[in-house]
Structure 1
Amino acid sequence: MPEFSKTADQALALLLSIGEEGGATAAALADRLGMHRTVAHRLLATLEQRGFVGRRSDGYELGLVLRRLAARVEPELLQVARVVMDDLSATTGEATMLSVREGNDAVTAALVPGTRHLVRVALEPGFRHPLHAGAAGRAVLACLDDRIRRRVVDASPAPAALREQLKEIRRLGYASSHDELQEGLCGIAAPVVGEGGLVASLSLTVPLTRAADLQKWAGDVVRAAGRLRDELGAATRMTGGS
């Protein structure tokens, strides 16, 4: 078995904590991970020197090095997703969105507009909302690590109701929303849980006047999310093996 490095593991734990649970001071990160504060300070100083974290007034955040590395991965995600999204929009005639998690938010990464109706949904990429709100966000939230999910749920306006919603999402395989994020819109979203911890969601969003049509597309959305998951996995394995 390869030799295990405790120091490297602790540094990676700090990066994962900042990325998954949000930035914080060195003391707060140490407490969060059960790590000695002196060790956390030393490791964060090293990570900052290498550009993996950056320091701001209220603590540490992920640095530019990680953001550059992530930017190399994102085009592959969008390239694979675009084909699946085009097919889903062609099948349903409605707007298809890919949303990804950034901290405690869901962010629209890509949109394929609908084609069959005069009244269309056009949410620009970059649209951001809390994970606990909207179908796209809750689909992601339902599939996060238990510890992260509990933290987000406990900080939401209605934790008990949200827990029940997430149970239902995991049972059905998709989330729904009605006149929630933007007045006059409703949506249905399925999670995409990929290799390496990627959690995103694929969703249809329609005007309320066509809300009755959403339910009949639920199976198509779930199947499209599964296809995206499989194709991302295949692309990752191909890249790793090249």
Structure 2
Amino acid sequence: MDEGKTTVRSVERALDLLLCFTIRPSWAMTELAQQVGLHKSTVHRMLATLEEKGFIERDPVTDRYQLGLMVWELSANLAATNDQSTMWQKEMERLRDQLGETVSIYVRSGVERIRIQSVQSNEPVRRVAPVGARFPLYAGASSKILIAYAMPEEQQEIWQHPTWQLRDQLTMDKYQSELCEVLEQGYAVSFEERESGVAAVSVPIFDREGLIIAALAVSGPSGRLTQERMREYAPIMQSAAKRMSMMTR
């Protein structure tokens, strides 16, 4: 009986660690130990197990922890049983049918963004968007959204990361000016920033507290997804993102 209680307690402690990442996306081990009220050696062992199973990732440079890809792989299987996930998928399909381009959802993981959901365009020439793909945060419309709407301390953490870099011929002042423009207009665009021949427009999805949880993006060939067309698509996407945000409340 005591052994059973110990096993359950271990599970509770592991879940307590995972739940810390609902507060903020990145933690040092000592911060986690203080947050859950456990000894550092205990937290270290649990983190090692969670990392081995893919639920947690450790940045070897900063020695900080963030959610692993397994969390997003699990969430992808919620569609059949979870109304919110199903409705998000329906909104994405509706947006794809309305705009004709590939629709994706990205979340931030450290200094990268991960595509956690996508609906492919039906056009013969289209942007293929595999779920689970990772991209650096220094380029792309979704990256600008995820950084522009992040908390100031999270922005500093990104910019101070050793692997952070700016796009070619872009100064930090110019980059921050781009982020201010994103906040003013409520959307971001990219035109062949990360990949030649590809353009994208992105808007934020918020949680019940008004904090960003994901970026909704529409991407396609730059010859079809022009700057003018992306500006036309932005209000349509903002309406879709607003409905998706309401599903989290």
TM-score (norm 1): 0.71
- What residue ranges of structure 1 are gaps of 5+ in the alignment? 1-7, 234-242
CA distance in 1, matches of 2:72, 2:165: 31
Question: Structure 1's 18 and 211: CA in aligned 2 closer, same or farther, altered over 3 A?
Answer: same
% same residue: 20
Which residue of the partner structure matches residue 222 of structure 1? 238
CA distance in 1, matches of 2:151, 2:219: 26
- Over residues 109-140 of structure 1, what are the superposed CA-to-partner deviations in whole Å (9 max), with x where a residue is unaligned? 1211122x321111211221122310011111
> Which of the pair is proportionally richer in helix?
1
Question: Structure 1's 149 and 63: CA in aligned 2 closer, same or farther, altered over 3 A?
Answer: closer
Question: Structure 1's 57 and 104: CA in aligned 2 closer, same or farther, altered over 3 A?
Answer: closer
Question: Structure 1's 57 and 230: CA in aligned 2 closer, same or farther, altered over 3 A?
Answer: closer
Deviation at 1:180, TM superposition (A): 1.3
Counterparts of 1:138-153 in structure 2 under 5 Å? 138-153=144-159
Deviation at 1:199, TM superposition (A): 1.6
Which residue of the partner structure matches residue 5 of structure 1? none
Counterparts of 1:1-242 in structure 2 under 5 Å? 16=21, 20-21=25-26, 43-51=39-47, 54=51, 58=60, 59=63, 61=65, 71=74, 75=78, 76=82, 78-115=85-122, 117-154=123-160, 155-157=164-166, 158-195=171-208, 199-212=213-226, 213-233=229-249
Contact 1:143 1:193 in 2 (8 A): no
**Equivalences, count:** 213
Deviation at 1:50, TM superposition (A): 4.1
- Over residues 10-44 of structure 1, what are the superposed CA-to-partner deviations in whole Å (9 max), with x where a residue is unaligned? x97xx55996246x6x5xx56xx9x99xx99x733
Secondary structure in 2 matching 1:167: helix
**Which AA in structure 2 matches 1:109?**
I
Aligned-CA RMSD value: 3.8
Secondary structure in 2 matching 1:206: strand
